[in-house]
């Protein structure tokens, strides 16, 4: 996975994420990102949740048909989720979470807005707050009115307002900047990469 360092404006490559093939092949535990996967599953089990959906390992990106379906469904799935865990791998807790790159990534915008409930976790899987508890600070950080962080109908926000939420966010691929906004604009399209 490539990420753009917002400070240096340089691409940084990581191979931390557990991918679909890693889970399918039984090699997930060999990846550095396994702790994130395990932490998510342990947290879900502690809340009596039987299943989790993690985009990096639940989407078979080698299938363009599946990838297209998943990209067009993500916002709906987040909105139907019991809870969304926002894992901030670079935060130690409430003291420094606002500087996390999670707030710079395009795809996490729908994770913040769509679910009924969002819980924030630091890199050691310590919960430090929920979207409702942190809504004032989150609104100031993201420019998203608190009403939308509390579930107000997104269609009440103008197109310009919704675009402003994404203005400072980045994606690895230029096309993903459009695709990560599909659900926020309640639209569908077939992703084409390259």
**In the chain, what are the domain boundaries?**
2-185
pTM over 0.75: yes
First to last CA, the chain: 16
Burial 8-27 (b: 16+ CB within 10 A, else e): eeeeeeeeebbbbebbeeee
pLDDT for residue 56: 82
Element (H, E) at 70: helix 64-80
Distance CA 51, CA 44 (A): 7
- Who's near 31: CB < 8 A, 6+ residues apart? 15, 16, 17, 18, 19, 22
The mean pLDDT value for 157-171 works out to 97
Predicted confidence (pLDDT) at residue 124 exceeds the cutoff of 70: yes
pLDDT for residue 93: 87
């Amino acid at each position: 996975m490539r990420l753009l360092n917002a400070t240096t404006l340089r691409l940084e490559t990581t191979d931390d994420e557990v991918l679909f093939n890693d889970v399918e092949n039984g090699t997930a535990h060999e990846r550095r990102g396994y702790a994130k996967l395990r932490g998510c599953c342990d947290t879900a089990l502690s809340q009596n949740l039987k299943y989790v959906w993690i985009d990096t390992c639940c989407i078979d990106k080698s299938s363009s048909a599946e990838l297209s379906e998943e990209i067009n469904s993500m916002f709906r799935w987040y909105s139907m989720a019991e809870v969304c865990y926002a894992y901030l791998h670079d935060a130690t807790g409430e003291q420094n979470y606002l500087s996390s790159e999670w707030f710079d990534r395009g795809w996490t915008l729908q994770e913040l807005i769509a679910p009924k409930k969002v819980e924030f976790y630091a890199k050691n899987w310590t919960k430090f707050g929920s979207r409702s508890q942190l809504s004032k600070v989150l609104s100031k950080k993201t420019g998203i009115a608190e009403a939308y962080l509390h579930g107000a109908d997104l269609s009440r926000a103008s197109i310009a307002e919704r675009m402003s939420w994404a203005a400072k966010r980045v994606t690895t691929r230029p096309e993903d900047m459009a695709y990560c906004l599909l659900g926020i604009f309640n639209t569908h399209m077939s992703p084409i990469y390259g």
